[in-house]
Structure 1
Amino acid sequence: MKSRRHVIVVGAGIIGASVAWHLAEAGARVTVLDAQEPGGIATRVSWAWINASFGNPEPYFRLRRHAMQEWHRLAAAVPGVGLARTGSLFWGRPPAELEAFAAEHGAWGYGVRSVSRAEAAAIEPHLVSPPEMAVHVAEEGVVEPLVAAQAILAGAQHLGATVIAHRRVRSLICAGNRVTGVDTDSGLLQADEVVVAGGVGSSRILATADVSLPMRTSPGLVVATAPHPPTLNGLLITPTMELRQTTEGRFLAVGEIEDGQAEGRVDESASELFAAVKGMVDTGSTLAPGTHAVAYRSIPRDGFPAVGRTAGLLGLYAAVTHSGITLAPAIGQFAAEELLTGQRNPLLAPYGMGRFAAQDQSST
């Protein structure tokens, strides 16, 4: 799949980083542009759960499971990615739903099993009140998202890619039915292909070429404590929060928050979430608060990835999704293959850009 096609990747979060690395590894000439520091916006505050768990129709499960496997290949090829197979303990749904999830995904070949209160306590000995019933998936894991994204970008640079920070893309450049480059706040850049992987900003960029990508944003409150000695073994998905401990020892909790809450209420919610962490895990009296932020997740309207070309417009490719941490290796791999060979992987079949127009037509 060797090629010297010049591809501009707009966005240096985890998806853009993976696309860039796979393209550079295949021999393409790659330029990555980001309006801010490389590492992305949503990526920096991601909880970074690598999984194929819960609520997935089977085609989406297959894509996510493939991505989980690709993480191991990518981590072996790129120094510093820091993939950790920690396992997860999940009791964020009623017991009947958890049992149904375990049965369904288990039948699909996922390593999920139901565990009792005693087993949950053995998996996570520092839980104050282990759940009566949970599901455990040993093969799930995590990366530190900013560290991983920057390591992948560094790997792409080692392969010859150029990464340019603080270069905002104003618009796509079109000539007839082809995108030929981008207009940035520092001038025009030409390319054979442009990949838009700008997360929440992707809709704005695509709209400059009259391409519609309907998006919705889902805010989440992210609370990080001060560093604490190792206490948790893996990831916890509970009825009130998602919780893990970072490689620095910080407890990282994600809770729901209403869109548009006033700043004062955000601070109050962060204090409540920190208190909930202290109530869930036995940390003694030494756990101290750290920082908090509201993260806006970039989600295509129907909740599934938007990856591929748009009808009638050459030279343009979109790679936008929620669950970017899980899906990044697969999307990077498949996007590079499609851009350089024209071959689209069957696992991407349901997730092309054309489905949104079809959805709009069916709703009228």
Structure 2
Amino acid sequence: MPKRVIVIGSGIIGASAAWHLAKGGADVTVLEAGEPGGLATRNSWAWINASWGNPEPYFRLRQRAIAEWHRLEGEIPALAVNWCGGLIWDLPPAELDAYAAQREAWGHPLSFVTRAEILAREPNLRDVPDHAFHVAEEGMLEPLATSQALLAAASALGAEVLSGSPVKWLERGDRVTGVMTDDGVIHADETLVAAGVHTDSLLDSVGITLKLTSPAGLLAHSKPAPKLLNGLVMTPGLHIRQTAEGRIVAGTDFAGADPDNDAEALAASLQHKVEAMVTGAEGLGLDFLTVGHRPTPADGFPAIGRPRGCEGLYTIVTHSGVTLAAALGRFAAEELLTGRRDALLDPFHPDRPALS
């Protein structure tokens, strides 16, 4: 008899887990409080990367995740990752060079590019530095469309996706046995919590503490324009990419900026910087802004796995959902259905001291 699994949350992590579970033969129900696609996902800058600031174990996990996105594209034709590469010069020169040397030592070389080479890749940029680095393996995707494609693929394998179905609490006896919703209890053999910023409160309902932060990140979205950018561009204080429909999405960095109670002014400032940096964007104008709250475990790294002493429960919470989704969905499905845990997850157990 198929294992019955509830997935709480239909953002890119939950959607990936649902598809991998359904592919593995599970009877899957996805519960989403709002509209399919989640909240943090649709407000993401949507960069797939293994970039700076990460210790080697996290870098290795992100590298694997990039490979898993390539695999997933081959299995779900509706997915469309743009493997456009990224230009990076958002660190002081000495730090940027040290970062490149570290990646070289880890077997992940970055390509040194001169000013002329930067402009050959991105001819519409102004005020570029004398040198930067290019990472060919990086990509971007349209986050909401990607989540919806994963959910549709899961549904085609028999998964049930229920929107407008908030979970009030987890049901627990000797083990977690399901969830309480407005329509009553839904029972399951396993419950996977991929509920973003609501993860900690759901775990608290069964006596599990997981320290979580939810910093706000604002992104400015321009009006649609003809193609002005070929890839991702990371500069000091401004990260930009152009979406499939032509909007330039900008943040102070990939996470977006803290709006600090003045979202409109910050978005206008970001759009002004875009128009000053990109030839052809002059007068383009701001179309809208988004403010997403990034689910981030207290030490900044993912929390993935079964909390000890609570059978029937699995959780995934991470800020880097877009990068990691393809890998974490696969790893969660394998662990839930076969008991095998990928060694790359060893440093990221939810019971580590920093989170309790």
Whether the TM-score (by the shorter chain) exceeds 0.5 is yes
**Shift in CA distance, 37/304, structure 1 to aligned 2, threshold 3 Å:** same
Pair 1:359-2:354 in alignment = yes
Which one of the candidate residues 113, 120, 123 is aligned to 1:122? 120
Which one of the candidate residues 142, 153, 168 is aligned to 1:144? 142
Write the distance in 1 (CA, Å) between the matches of 2:244 and 2:257.
Answer: 26
Q: Secondary structure at the match of 1:182?
A: strand
Pair 1:334-2:334 in alignment = no
Write the distance in 1 (CA, Å) between the matches of 2:97 and 2:190.
Answer: 46
Aligned to 1:15: 13
Write the distance in 2 (CA, Å) between the matches of 1:118 and 1:293.
Answer: 34
Aligned to 1:47: 45
Which one of the candidate residues 185, 209, 213 is aligned to 1:216? 213
Aligned-residue offset at 1:353: 1.1
Aligned-residue offset at 1:258: 3.6
**Shift in CA distance, 74/118, structure 1 to aligned 2, threshold 3 Å:** same
- 1:197-248 per-position Cα deviation (integer Å, ceiling 9, x unaligned): 0011111111101111101122211110111000101001111121000000
Residue 240 of structure 1 aligns with an amino acid whose one-letter code is: G
Show the 5 A alignment for 1:158-197: 158-176=156-174, 178-197=175-194
Aligned to 2:235: 238
Aligned-residue offset at 1:284: 5.2
Aligned-residue offset at 1:55: 1.2
Which one of the candidate residues 284, 289, 297 is aligned to 1:292? 289
Aligned partners of 1:92 and 1:239 also within 8 Å: yes
Aligned to 1:95: 93
Pair 1:154-2:152 in alignment = yes
Aligned to 1:345: 342
Aligned partners of 2:126 and 2:279 also within 8 Å: yes
Gapped regions of structure 2 (runs ≥ 5): none
Aligned to 1:269: 266
Sequence identity (%)? 50
Q: Secondary structure at the match of 2:312?
A: strand
- 1:102-122 per-position Cα deviation (integer Å, ceiling 9, x unaligned): 111122222412222121111
Write the distance in 2 (CA, Å) between the matches of 1:312 and 1:39.
Answer: 31
Aligned partners of 1:179 and 1:316 also within 8 Å: yes
Which one of the candidate residues 77, 81, 98 is aligned to 1:83? 81
Moved >4 Å (runs of 4+) = none
Q: Secondary structure at the match of 2:287?
A: strand
Aligned partners of 1:219 and 1:258 also within 8 Å: yes
Q: Secondary structure at the match of 1:310?
A: coil
Residue 359 of structure 1 aligns with an amino acid whose one-letter code is: A
Q: Secondary structure at the match of 1:224?
A: strand
Gapped regions of structure 1 (runs ≥ 5): none
Aligned to 1:56: 54
Residue 73 of structure 1 aligns with an amino acid whose one-letter code is: R
Which one of the candidate residues 316, 319, 323 is aligned to 1:322? 319
Q: State the TM-score, normalized to the length of structure 2.
A: 0.96
- 1:38-86 per-position Cα deviation (integer Å, ceiling 9, x unaligned): 1010100101100001011111111000000000111111122111100
Write the distance in 2 (CA, Å) between the matches of 1:65 and 1:349.
Answer: 16
Aligned partners of 2:251 and 2:257 also within 8 Å: no
Aligned-residue offset at 1:286: 4.9
Residue 317 of structure 2 aligns with an amino acid whose one-letter code is: V
Aligned partners of 2:65 and 2:323 also within 8 Å: yes
**Aligned-CA RMSD value:** 1.3
**Shift in CA distance, 268/74, structure 1 to aligned 2, threshold 3 Å:** same
Residue 350 of structure 2 aligns with an amino acid whose one-letter code is: M
Aligned partners of 1:80 and 1:147 also within 8 Å: no
Residue 19 of structure 1 aligns with an amino acid whose one-letter code is: A
Which shows bigger deviation, 280-289 or 116-125? 280-289
Aligned partners of 1:111 and 1:138 also within 8 Å: no
- 1:162-187 per-position Cα deviation (integer Å, ceiling 9, x unaligned): 000000000000012x0000001221
Aligned partners of 1:79 and 1:155 also within 8 Å: no
Instruction: Give the number of equivalent residue pairs.
Output: 353
Which one of the candidate residues 24, 42, 45 is aligned to 1:26? 24
Aligned partners of 1:31 and 1:164 also within 8 Å: yes
Write the distance in 2 (CA, Å) between the matches of 1:48 and 1:111.
Answer: 22
Aligned-residue offset at 1:345: 0.5
Residue 111 of structure 2 aligns with an amino acid whose one-letter code is: R
Residue 321 of structure 2 aligns with an amino acid whose one-letter code is: G
Aligned to 2:307: 310
**Shift in CA distance, 155/360, structure 1 to aligned 2, threshold 3 Å:** closer
Q: Secondary structure at the match of 2:237?
A: coil
